[in-house]
Amino acid sequence: MKQEIHTFLPAGHPWKDRILWFDTIGSTNTQAKALALQGAPHGTVILAGHQSGGRGRLGRSFHSPADAGIYMSVLLRPECHPAELIHLTCAAAVAACDAVEGAAGIRPGIKWTNDLVYGKRKLAGILTELGLDKQGKISYAIIGIGINCSQQIPDFPRDIRDFAGSLASVTGRNIPRARVAAALIERLEQMDRELLRGKDAMLDRYRRDCVTLGQRIRLLRGEEVRYGTALDIDDQGALVVSFDGGTTEAVSSGEVSIRGMYGYM
C-alpha cells in the first residue's frame, strides 16, 4: 500500500519519506502521539489497514474494518500557541473535502465540526489532538482522519447502518484507497503551509461546505439539551446558534445534531 501511495504522490513531496504503514494497529492517533513523544518529525504520516481501537470525538469509537477505509494520522509541529490553532479541525475538514473531491469526484459537506457527509450519510470523521510543552506552546498536533471507502451499506454495524456511507456506496464506484490517501496527504500538506496565515480564507471555504448552517439543531452538553438554529461559523471556527428562547451564542464544544440527520427527527 505504501508503494502504491507513493505512485500517486508527486516526486519530491516533502512528506513522502515520512509515511509509516501498519497492517493493523490500535489507533493511528495513539501511535502518532507515541511517536511524537519519541521525537518524530513534522509531517510524519501514520496509516493503517485496520484499527482495532479507532477513536472518535467525545470518547466514541470509529469503526475501522480491515482494508475498507483510510485510517490516517498526521503529526505536525507548528511553532505557536494552542489559541492560534483553534481552527485546526475546520482546516482539516476543508482539506479532507478537497481530497475526496480530487480522488472521488464528489464534494462532501461538513457537518460542524468534524464530520464529512454526503446526503444524510457520514463518510468520514476527524479527530485532532494537541500536546503542549512546558511553556504551554504546541509540542505536537495530530490530525486523525478516517474515511469510509469501500463498504456497502449492509457492511456497516447495525447501530450506524442508517447514517453511515462510504465513497463506494455514494458514488457507485470503487475508488483506489491509495489514491484517496495520497490526495489527503497532498491536501493536508497544503493546509499546513497556510495554517497560520490563511485562516480567514479557509473559514470562508468551511462556511461554504458546512451543511449545518441554516438548519435546526440540537446541542447536547452533559445533561443539558438545547435547541436552536445554526446561523454562522465565527472567526474561531465556533458555531453561532440562535437558541430558542432568544439568546445567540457561539458554541465551541458539545455534540450538535442536525434535525433530519443521524436519527434526530
Using CB under 6 A as the binding rule, whether residue 237 contacts ligand BTN is answered as: no
Using CB under 6 A as the binding rule, whether residue 108 contacts ligand BTN is answered as: no
Helix (H) or strand (E) holding 96: helix 88-104
Using CB under 6 A as the binding rule, whether residue 151 contacts ligand BTN is answered as: no
Helices (H) then strands (E): counts for the chain? 6, 12
Between 57 and 243, whose beta carbon lies closer to ligand BTN?
57
Site for ligand BTN in 46-75 (CB under 6 A): 51, 54-57, 60, 62, 71-73
State which residue has the least CB distance to ligand BTN: 125
Phi-psi region of 86 (alpha: psi -120 to 50; beta: other; left: phi over 0): alpha
Using CB under 6 A as the binding rule, whether residue 177 contacts ligand BTN is answered as: no
Place of cell 490563511: 198
Q: How far is the CB of 72 from ligand BTN (least distance, A)?
A: 6
Phi-psi region of 260 (alpha: psi -120 to 50; beta: other; left: phi over 0): left
Q: How far is the CB of 144 from ligand BTN (least distance, A)?
A: 3
Bridge partner list, 225: 220
State which of residues 27, 89, 128, 212 lies at the interface with ligand BTN (CB under 6 A): 27
**Looking at 26-34, 104-112, 159-167, 234-242, which segment touches ligand BTN (CB under 6 A)?**
26-34
How many Cα atoms occupy the beta-carbon half-sphere of 96 within 13 Å? 33
Of 115, 125, 130, 10, the C-alpha closest to 77 is 130
Residue ranges that bind ligand BTN, judged by CB under 6 A: 27-29, 51, 54-57, 60, 62, 71-73, 114, 125-127, 144-146
